[in-house]
A and B are shown apart, each in its own frame.
Chain A
Amino acid sequence: MRIKLPSMHLRNLGIFAGGVLSGLMGVGGGIIFVPFFTNVLKLPQKVAHGTSTAVICVTALCALLVYVFVFRAFNLYYAVAFAAGGVLGAQVGARATSRMNVVLLRTFFALIVLLVAGKFLYSGIHNAL
């Protein structure tokens, strides 16, 4: 799909910030890329999601190389177990989505993420002091 993107500098800055977040926090960075692609670059939702996933492949792999080969911060057993489970789970999730109350599900997980955020903030601040 060919789409013309506006504002080169804004685009470069946003994509750079997503990359930094991915490497710094050990996540994909889709939470930055997807809203950035839809709101700033005006990509349709599906294309934003697809393009974000393609960019995440590359950012996550680059960051992974640094974590593994430069700093040896990696646990192979958990990585394999999580990855195998994750691939299976994604199939289950894709089938179950239409049968769920999405609002209830999202609210429930927002609360869990909030609790985990509190736990990390607490233990981080506690350790830092």
Chain B
Amino acid sequence: MHFDILNFLLALVIGIGVGTVSSMLGIGGGIFYVPVGVLLFGLSQHVAQGTSLFVVSVSSISGALAHHKHGNVASNQLRFLLPFAIVGALMGSLLAFKISSAFLKVGFGLFLLYIALSIIWGTARLKFNQEHR
């Protein structure tokens, strides 16, 4: 694997930006790391998604521990929830490699479209609540 220190530093700076923004918006960084990997660093759609999953894993472990400390994890339900989540994640990731990069991009585009609309919807509700307090 070719290592380029400039790209590494650029990715680090972008990581700081994405971390800042996603913590402000209350959303995970995955939706940002995949586009940055594909559009800026020229990774393939599949590699960008794998790389994003690493970052999501690392940040959600520290996040989950913090939430657990504050008693905000419904831990008695996890043993019911996790088996389905695990099977889903395994099937989803196997499915991702049955799909061509082009179709995966279309799927990711639709997914982002849904996120943009849900952010807009959430913001409209927030603004409405602020004005009618």
CB contact list, B46-87 vs A, under 8 A: 46-64, 67-68, 70-78, 80-82, 84-87
Interface size class of B (residues with CB under 8 A): 35 or more
Residues of B in contact with A (beta carbons under 8 Å apart): 1, 3, 7-9, 11-31, 33-39, 41, 43-44, 46-64, 67-68, 70-78, 80-82, 84-97, 100-120, 122-123, 126-127, 130
Residues of B with C-beta under 8 A to A24: 92-93, 95-96, 104, 107
Residues of A in contact with B (beta carbons under 8 Å apart): 1-3, 5, 8, 11-13, 15-28, 30-31, 43, 46-47, 49-51, 53-64, 66-68, 70-71, 73-79, 81-94, 96-97, 100, 102-103, 105-107, 109-111, 113-114, 116-125, 127-128
| 15 CB-based A-B contacts, threshold 8 Å | A18-B88, A26-B48, A28-B28, A47-B73, A50-B74, A51-B74, A78-B11, A82-B52, A86-B55, A89-B17, A92-B16, A102-B24, A109-B25, A117-B112, A120-B112
Asked whether B60 lies within 8 Å of A56 as measured between CB atoms, the reply is: yes
Q: Interface of chain B, helix or strand or loop or mixed?
A: helix
Residues of B with C-beta under 8 A to A83: 15, 54-55, 58-59
Asked whether B50 lies within 8 Å of A67 as measured between CB atoms, the reply is: yes
A123–B82 CA distance with the chains assembled, in angstroms: 35
**Residue of A with least CB distance to B11:** A81
Asked whether A123 lies within 8 Å of B73 as measured between CB atoms, the reply is: no
Smallest CB–CB gap between B42 and chain A, Å?
A: 11
The winner among B49, B53, B63, B96 for most chain A CB atoms within 10 A is B53
